[in-house]
Structure 1
Amino acid sequence: MGCGCCSHASTEKDTLRVTIVGLENSGKTSLVQCLKTSKKSRQTSLCVSTHGVISINIQTNMNFLVFDCGGCKHQRHIWPHIMNSPDVILFAVDSMDLTCLNDAREALSDLLVDENLINKPLLVIFTKSDRENKLSIDQLEQTLDLSVIKVTIKEESLLII
């Protein structure tokens, strides 16, 4: 069952192309590492900011080509140039940083009106949601003007809450 994007991609081509975008320090690279190792990331060290776009091949029971895009304001102009190729887009939002939510809402709104994204699945992921000082789902949902389906990853399995 599922959304259909994965079965469609696996039958018509051998690689699912995933683009991950979001503001800087939103946890995009940590999310990629989590996908790459199939384990929940508990990264405590600082990540180096991604400049431009980094592509990573991830092979599990399916092949993924993941594009990790830099999130600094001066780098977001490249997002539209890579948005015509992915099968799915992940938009990462730091669930601990209230000061960046308005910028995240603006960046997400820009993506939602992009012609290259018509009929492309876009998933908003709240990162760092396992931390104590995270914002509530209601705060995130209201500030970003979203309807939320609550999902969490716990011990390598997907749980719908």
Structure 2
Amino acid sequence: MYNRKEDYFVIILGLDNAGKTTLLERIKATYSSTEKPVHQTNCTHVGTIDMNATCINFWDLGGQSELRRLWSKYYAESHAILFVVDASDSERIKEAKSIFETITATEELDGLPLLLVANKADKANSMDLAQLKEMFNPIAVNLGARDSTVLSVSALRGQGVREAVDWLAIRLERNRANRPPVLRPL
């Protein structure tokens, strides 16, 4: 085991302009001593951070409606879901909730840890965490026994970002029997 590295893959989902790419960039900056470059494709940003014997790879998938149909191509290789909601955008919160509900009902993602991030918590008009939880709570029946939580962050200022990544790292390890990491030589 000492001559191999464990790779986990986290998909970052959410509507366009929710702050997914900003969050990925903040994660990269927070773990700057061990970061690898973020690579960009047409609809995806990819970033990797090293945490001891583990690599966490983040796939930031485009949130525009025409790009959402591509999300399913990443499900089979994913180990966790990071769903980003713009907590300051009251006009699109119902749309975000609908997409989140679809994600939680997707059989291919059953059992994966799911972190719902209320981003842009630093904005004055941002919905507080209790309101967001109340709004998304009816969807909890779709979650089953999987690890899940809701955290408040400001990707722009870095508030709550380390806590979010730490939560994911613990859950990835805890869920390894359900979705084992990809092992690669050092």
TM-score normalised by length of structure 2: 0.64
Distance 1:143 1:156 in 2: 22
1:54 paired to 2:45: yes
1:141 paired to 2:136: no
1:83 paired to 2:75: yes
110, 115, 132: which one aligns with 1:118: 110
Q: CA deviation at 1:59?
A: 2.7
Alpha carbons 1:80, 1:114 under 8 Å: kept: no
Q: CA deviation at 1:115?
A: 1.4
Pair 128,120 (structure 1): closer, same or farther in 2 beyond 3 Å: same
Task: Determine what percentage of the aligned residue pairs are the same residue.
Answer: 26
Unmatched runs of 5 consecutive residues or more in structure 2: 32-40, 141-148, 165-186
Runs in 1 of length 4+ with deviation above 6 angstroms? none
Alpha carbons 2:119, 2:152 under 8 Å: kept: no
Structure 2 residue aligned with 1:98? 90
TM-score normalised by length of structure 1: 0.73
Distance 1:155 1:29 in 2: 16
Alignment length (residue pairs): 138
Alpha carbons 2:26, 2:161 under 8 Å: kept: no
Q: CA deviation at 1:53?
A: 2.0
21, 42, 61: which one aligns with 1:69: 61
Alpha carbons 1:51, 1:75 under 8 Å: kept: no
Q: CA deviation at 1:117?
A: 0.4
Structure 2 residue aligned with 1:109? 101
Which runs of structure 2 are paired with 1:122-133 in the superposition (5 Å)? 122-133=114-125
CA offset digits 1:73-92 (Å, max 9, x no partner): 11100111111111111000
Distance 2:59 2:42 in 1: 12
Alpha carbons 1:151, 1:158 under 8 Å: kept: no
Unmatched runs of 5 consecutive residues or more in structure 1: 1-11, 40-49
CA RMSD of aligned residues (A): 2.7
Structure 1 residue aligned with 2:23? 31
